[in-house]
Amino acid sequence: MSAYILGINGSPRKGNTYAMLKAVLSEASARGAVTELVNLGDYEIRYCMGHPKEVCEKGCPLDDGFGEIAGKLIDADCIIIGSSTFMGDVSGILKSFIDRTVHLRRIGFKLRDKVGAGLVVGAHTGGGQDLALRTIHTFFLKHNMLVVSEGEPSSQSGVIAVAREVGEVEKDDTVMKECRRLGERVIEVLRMLGR
């Protein structure tokens, strides 16, 4: 299998979200996929300026790190997005990133039919994890992607964790098992799609 799976760490730091994504990608890699993890915090991602469609179609005029990541999105067979919760939703840098992908819709839905999966972590139960996951899924759906969950036996909307301290999520056996299951599940779906 030569599927390319791209993980996007929407947290501005390399903490619990990063650890969860690494677990997903490690499982996918063990099953033959080529994987890469992009940390948005390593890039300057400016917020979308809402340029007119005709400007956006020619290429986003904002000169920052988004262009490099956009190429990876186009090349990927599967995109897995993770975010920590900030004020009950995804992080600001992830929201800016999501908004900037309008360019990829306007030039012909470049992410159409790619597989997408999400995971989120918040400091408290009820800390916005469900809404953050919905934001990630909406991103996938706006691009006509195929959304998958971690599958059976739980088959929830994606992996959701509660962790406050860095490294805490790695001590949660259930969450780590669900992350590995998500890695396994995206491989299953990619194989069904012949990728």
- pLDDT, tens only, 149-189: 988 887 778 999 999 899 999 999 999 999 999 999 999 99
| 73's tokens | 């999105």
Q: 3-state DSSP: the chain helix, strand, coil percent, rounded to 5? A: 45, 20, 40
CATH number, domain containing residue 82:
3.40.50.360
Q: What angle do CA 143, 95, 53 make, to 5 degrees?
A: 55
Alpha carbons 191 and 186: distance in angstroms, whole number:
9
Alpha carbons 167 and 122: distance in angstroms, whole number:
13
Q: Could you tell me the residue range of the domain that residue 125 belongs to?
A: 4-192
Alpha carbons 114 and 193: distance in angstroms, whole number:
10
Cα-based distances in Å from 167 to 20, 23, 77, 103, 185: 10, 13, 29, 36, 24
pTM score, whole prediction: 0.95
pLDDT tens digits, residue range 2-46?
A: 899 999 999 999 999 999 999 999 999 999 999 999 999 999 999
How many domains is the chain built from? Answer: 1
